[in-house]
Amino acid sequence: MQIYKTKTKQLPGTSYKEIKKKAFGLYLEIKKRSKRKPYVRSVYFKKEKIFLDFFWAHIFSKNYWDQMRRMKFFACALELIQKSHFKPTTKNNPNKPQEVLHRFHGISADNELFFVQIKENKRTGKKYLISVFPEE
């Protein structure tokens, strides 16, 4: 297992409102660049698009504290997706056979281990950022 070391630190802040504002601000910057779905390009997937819209739906389904701890790593996750050449852990989705899950491992600049999960649709080849979460 190879771990990508980011140059980005976790988003600073202690309140939910503060962290959400910074994380969602990053998302809105990316969203402004595209007329359709917001995305970033991944070096590992040969500059293919990784769509970000599922991430926010997933985050807002979690409880308050879990949202906060996941959103802190959003900036780190974007850097990892865009710059990491390391091979992720890949497995078929046990719930949906037409999907593959890729899990990247990273360490933030302040030495916190985190994971980024990307879902790939086998039929269309589209990839979606599903989740970002720190080590428990």
| 52-98 per-position pLDDT tens digit | 989 999 999 999 899 999 999 999 999 999 999 999 999 998 889 99
Q: Which of 40, 78, 72, 41 is nearest to 59 (CA)?
A: 72
DSSP characters for 52-85?
A: -HHHHHHHTTS-HHHHHHHHTTHHHHHHHHHH--
Task: Kindly state the tokens that stand for 74.
Answer: 């959003």
Give me the pLDDT at residue 34, please.
87
pTM for the whole structure:
0.91
| pLDDT of 29 | 94
pLDDT in tens, 110-121: 999 999 999 999
Amino acid 1: pLDDT:
74
Please state the rounded mean pLDDT for residues 32-42.
Answer: 93
- Within 10 Å of residue 96's Cβ, how many Cβ atoms? 12
Residue 42 CA: distances (Å) to CA of 36, 45, 81, 133: 18, 5, 5, 19
* CA 18/CA 44 separation, integer angstroms: 32
